[in-house]
Structure formats: structure tokens, C-alpha cells
């Protein structure tokens, strides 16, 4: 498959899927048992830069993967180690979330099947439903990987709250005080949105927090906050969420930033305490914000 043929295939495939395929949630059974899929059952993501004519794939990266795959096949080894991240489509097949260049290299190497990991993402309709059901006009946003999750050797962790087999499939640990912080936010009338740059299945994240008796309202994964997704879908989702809330608390490791959507005003509150007191300080700041808002 030459360069021009690859891009032609990508654009034709996107056109064929338009108005036909929609993302759906895969069952736990399917996510556990389906570990491979035919290359031609995997469809490029129209929202990814790889699939956009003005940006397109990096053929240098594709060539590097091709060399790696052909070398592995020559030595009778599996050519692809890490699974491609995909989302299930209805009526059939999968849409790529992460791994477009590896998929393209596999296509050019005539590899019939590739390893996959099926991820259940929040769909646009999921987000609309959450917003329609909510009676709140304020939200809190927290980064899963940067703020909530911690490595097993981190000194200030919540006691592990889940057992086999979930503990094998999902090895993340949670920072001390996170359940108390989420409880405080819910009590103060905030919708809680957690997001991550990496791809996680939203049902795994829901199960994770439920194990700690903690509640979150919205889960967005595969979100890069530094280079925000510029796709039409991502823009629509941002607009839906931003139009819903008057006040947002962005909770980070070092500060809480309070912003007001209608006025554009913001205020920053530093969290400058020892790690073991991080959640306690964050809760105190939120209570102070609420006290000040109540006195106006």
C-alpha cells in the first residue's frame, strides 16, 4: 500500500462509515475476551489528525514501525507488542482511539490481525444525559493521572479498596484524602468531572471510585489539556459543558482555580502544604469559597 493508496483508503473508509457507524459501549465480557481484530475491521478516527488531509500521517513513523514489524515476523515473533486502543462501533467493527501509525504499518505489512484493547468512552449522548439530569450550575474538574492516581510506592495512599480480579486488571492506586474531597464537593453541590490524557474505560473508572464510596458525575478520557482536541465533536462537548456551568473549580496539585464562565473572572488559591495534608487543605479552600459565595 503506497502513500497515496493509504490516504485514499483512509478517506474512503471514513466516508463509508459516515452516517452508518456509531460508537457504542462494549460489554465487560467482550472487553475481557476480545484481544485481536482484523486490520480491515478497524477504522481510522475522523477526529484524529492522522485522518485529516491537511495534517495526515507521518510516513517516517509508519516506516519505522514497518521495519520493526517485518524484523519481528522474520524472527517468528508477534510483530505488535502493545494493543491498539479502539472503541466498539455499531453495526460492526472498531474505531481507532490510539495507534493509527501502527495500524497503518500493519496494513502495509499485510498483517491480517492486530492486538486490540476495547475502551468504553463517554459518548456525546452520554454527556448530554449527564448535563440534562444535573440540577447544579457549578462543577469541579480533576485530572485522574496527575492529581488522583498515584504509584504503589507513593507514601500517602488510600487503603486498597478492591480485590481480584479488578485489582489485576486495574492497578492504579488513589491519593490519600481523595474520597473525602469528592464527598465534600458533592455535598457543596458541585458536579465532579474527572479527565485523563490516557484512555481508560469509563466503566472501569466508575467501578474504581465506587470501591472507595466516592462519586463522580462525568468521565472524559483521551483528553490532552495542553493541546486540546480540535475536532468538531470535542468542540461540541466543550460547548455543552461550558454552557451548563456558571462556576468551575479546576483542582490541581498546587492550586485550585475558580473561574466564572459568564464573566471570565478567576481566582487562584494555592495549596502549599505537606503532601499528607493536601486533601484537607483543598477541602478547606472549597469551604471558604462556598462561605464567601453564600455571603454575597
The CATH number of whichever domain residue 15 belongs to comes to: 3.90.1530.10
Q: Considering its fold, how many domains does the chain have in total?
A: 2
CA–CA distance from 95 to each of 23, 46, 86, 132, 278 (Å)? 8, 9, 5, 27, 39
Looking at the structure, tell me whether residues 144 and 202 fall in a common domain. yes
Looking at the structure, tell me whether residues 24 and 166 fall in a common domain. no
DSSP 40: G
Looking at the structure, tell me whether residues 175 and 36 fall in a common domain. no
Looking at the structure, tell me whether residues 94 and 68 fall in a common domain. yes
Q: What is the pLDDT at residue 170? A: 72
Residue pLDDT, tens place only, 34-88: 999 999 999 999 988 899 888 889 999 999 999 999 999 999 999 999 999 999 9
* Banded model confidence at residue 245, pLDDT cuts 50, 70, 90: very high
Q: What is the pLDDT at residue 118? A: 96
Residue pLDDT, tens place only, 200-231: 999 989 988 998 999 999 999 988 654 455 56
Domain boundary among 88, 118, 148: 118
Looking at the structure, tell me whether residues 173 and 268 fall in a common domain. yes
The span from the CA of 286 to the CA of 281, in Å, is: 9
Residue pLDDT, tens place only, 117-132: 999 999 888 999 999 9
Q: Which domain holds residue 20?
A: 3-118
Looking at the structure, tell me whether residues 129 and 92 fall in a common domain. no
Looking at the structure, tell me whether residues 110 and 79 fall in a common domain. yes
Looking at the structure, tell me whether residues 280 and 139 fall in a common domain. yes
Looking at the structure, tell me whether residues 228 and 171 fall in a common domain. yes
Q: What is the dihedral of CA 107, 13, 197, 258, to 10 degrees?
A: 170
CATH of the domain at 273: 3.40.50
Looking at the structure, tell me whether residues 8 and 70 fall in a common domain. yes
- What are the b/e assignments for 265-291, b being 16+ CB within 10 Å? eeeebebeeeeeebbebbbebbeebbe
Amino acid at each position: 500500500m503506497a502513500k497515496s493508496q493509504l490516504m485514499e483508503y483512509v478517506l474512503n473508509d471514513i466516508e463509508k462509515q459516515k452516517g452508518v457507524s456509531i460508537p457504542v459501549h462494549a460489554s465487560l465480557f467482550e472487553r475481557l475476551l476480545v484481544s485481536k481484530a482484523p486490520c480491515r475491521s478497524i477504522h481510522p478516527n475522523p477526529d484524529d489528525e492522522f485522518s485529516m488531509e491537511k495534517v495526515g500521517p507521518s510516513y517516517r513513523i509508519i516506516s519505522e514501525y514497518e521495519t520493526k514489524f517485518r524484523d519481528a515476523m522474520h524472527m517468528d515473533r508477534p510483530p505488535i507488542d502493545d494493543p491498539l486502543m479502539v472503541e466498539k462501533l455499531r453495526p460492526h467493527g472498531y474505531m481507532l482511539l490510539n495507534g493509527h501509525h501502527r495500524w497503518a504499518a500493519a496494513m502495509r505489512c499485510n498483517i491480517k490481525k492486530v492486538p486490540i484493547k476495547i475502551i468504553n468512552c463517554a459518548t456525546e449522548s452520554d454527556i448530554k444525559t449527564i448535563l440534562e439530569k444535573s440540577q447544579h450550575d457549578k462543577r469541579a474538574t480533576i485530572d485522574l493521572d496527575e492529581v488522583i492516581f498515584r504509584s504503589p510506592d507513593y507514601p500517602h495512599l488510600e487503603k486498597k479498596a478492591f480485590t481480584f480480579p479488578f485489582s489485576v486488571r486495574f492497578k492504579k492506586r488513589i491519593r490519600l484524602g481523595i474520597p473525602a474531597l469528592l464527598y465534600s464537593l458533592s455535598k457543596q453541590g458541585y458536579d465532579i468531572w474527572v479527565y485523563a490524557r490516557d484512555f481508560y474505560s469509563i466503566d472501569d473508572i466508575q467501578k474504581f471510585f465506587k470501591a472507595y464510596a466516592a462519586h463522580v458525575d462525568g468521565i472524559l478520557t483521551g483528553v490532552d489539556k495542553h493541546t486540546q482536541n480540535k475536532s468538531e465533536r470535542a468542540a461540541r462537548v466543550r460547548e455543552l459543558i461550558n454552557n451548563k456551568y456558571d462556576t468551575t473549580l479546576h483542582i490541581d496539585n498546587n492550586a485550585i482555580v475558580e473561574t466564572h464562565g459568564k464573566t471570565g473572572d478567576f481566582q487562584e488559591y494555592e495549596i502549599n502544604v505537606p503532601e499528607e495534608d493536601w486533601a484537607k487543605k483543598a477541602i478547606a479552600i472549597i469551604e471558604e469559597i462556598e462561605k464567601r459565595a453564600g455571603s454575597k
